[in-house]
Amino acid sequence: MREIIRNFELLSLDEKNRRNLAVSSWLVKQLQDELETVNADRLVVGVYAPLVGEPVWWQNDAVKRFPVDWAFPVARREESDVREMDFYLCKEEELVPQSSFGIKLRVPPQQISPVIPDCFLIPGMAFDQSGNRLGKGKGWYDYYLKNIRGKKIGVCFQEQLVNEVPVNDDDIQMDVVITDSGVFNASKS
pLDDT tens per residue across span 39-54:
888 999 999 999 888 8
pLDDT of residue 100: 67
pLDDT tens per residue across span 146-189:
988 899 999 999 989 999 999 888 899 999 999 999 999 987 65
Distance between CA atoms of 74 and 90, rounded to whole angstroms? Answer: 12
**For residues 1-20, average pLDDT:** 78
Distance between CA atoms of 189 and 181, rounded to whole angstroms? Answer: 24
pLDDT of residue 1: 58
- Return the SS3 of 116: coil
